[in-house]
């Protein structure tokens, strides 16, 4: 169990490497945690498995619930500040009148993002996780009960800004979309592979800033494909309406699927 956030991450498996001694590459895809013998903590491992198993069962229940109501669900994940809420604001405006949407907002504290969504006229629920660093399936089930989502056909879940823990928790979504902004560096898929492996869509965001940052979009794409060659990739900026069109078109296509 991760001792800092209690999220089910196997914290004791962290890999400690000295770059001058250890290249960081391990043969046959092994992590250092698998390389080095460590004391067996069966109780801890059991607790971690229980947390994730319970979440998976609840996520399946959510999935059935969404399916029965004909609601498609998108789990939006990224590091803090990559542009999830900004993209939602533009997306909701573009989908207006065509695809009734709803939003579940996840943050540790504040109603700030929910207030931004509320201003678009779309029904929204804010989940504050306190010390928690991710949303889980039980929180989503509860939010669905609390929200005015009766007419919703497309539900966006904005996860807590964090490039690690949210990837471990299935919420019952149809698609996992990870945002990766050009200010974060083109190496992020390699450094946080679990998130990019668990997603099926990646949005390279804030592309209007490309002229001002050291971010090579070809390198970023190569890194993404190295981690997950199935990823569907969009490049966009909320400052450039045209760039949003492929993303909006993809979402509209869900209506018929």
Q: Which residues bind ligand GTP (CB under 6 A)?
A: 78, 80-86, 113, 161, 205-206, 208-209, 237-239
Residue 141 neighbours by CB distance under 10 Å: 16
CA within 13 Å, CB half, 46:
4
Choose the one of Mg ion, ligand GTP, none that binds residue 34, judging by a C-beta under 5 to 8 angstroms depending on kind: none
Site membership for Mg ion, residue 84 (CB under 5 A): yes
Nearest to ligand GTP of 41, 239 (CB atom):
239
Shortest distance, CB of residue 205 to ligand GTP, whole angstroms?
A: 5
What is the spatial order of strands in the sheet that 124-128 belongs to?
Answer: 124-128, 101-107, 154-158, 72-77, 175-181, 201-205, 232-235
Site membership for Mg ion, residue 89 (CB under 5 A): no
Placement of tokens 């679990």 in the chain: 194
Within 99-158, which residues bind Mg ion (CB under 5 A)? Answer: 113
Nearest to ligand GTP of 1, 122 (CB atom):
122
Shortest distance, CB of residue 136 to Mg ion, whole angstroms?
A: 18
Site membership for Mg ion, residue 85 (CB under 5 A): yes
CA 175 – CA 111 distance, rounded (Å): 25
CA 18 – CA 89 distance, rounded (Å): 43
Binding residues (CB under 5 A) for Mg ion: these are 84-85, 113
């Amino acid at each position: 169990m991760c001792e800092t956030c209690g999220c089910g991450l196997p914290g004791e498996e962290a890999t400690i490497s000295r770059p001058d001694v250890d290249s960081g590459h391990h043969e046959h895809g092994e992590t250092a945690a698998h390389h080095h013998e460590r004391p067996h903590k069966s109780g801890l491992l059991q607790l971690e498995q229980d947390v994730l198993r319970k979440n998976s069962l609840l996520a399946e229940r959510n999935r059935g619930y969404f399916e029965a109501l004909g609601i498609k669900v998108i789990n939006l994940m990224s590091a803090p500040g990559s542009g999830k809420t900004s993209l939602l604001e533009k997306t909701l405006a573009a989908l207006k009148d065509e695809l009734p949407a709803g939003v579940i907002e996840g943050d540790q504290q504040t109603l700030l993002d929910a207030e931004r969504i509320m201003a678009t006229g779309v029904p929204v629920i804010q989940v504050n996780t306190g010390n928690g660093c991710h949303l889980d399936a039980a929180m989503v089930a509860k939010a669905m009960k609390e929200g005015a989502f009766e007419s919703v056909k497309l539900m966006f879940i904005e996860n807590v800004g964090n490039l690690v823990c949210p990837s471990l928790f299935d919420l019952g979504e149809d698609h996992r979309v990870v945002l990766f902004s050009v200010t974060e560096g083109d190496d992020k898929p390699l450094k946080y592979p679990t998130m990019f492996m668990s997603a099926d869509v990646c949005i390279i965001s804030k592309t209007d800033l490309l002229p001002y940052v050291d971010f090579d979009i070809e390198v970023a794409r190569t890194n993404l494909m190295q981690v997950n060659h199935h990823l569907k990739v969009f490049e966009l900026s909320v400052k450039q309406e045209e760039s949003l069109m492929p993303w909006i078109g993809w979402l509209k296509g869900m209506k018929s699927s």
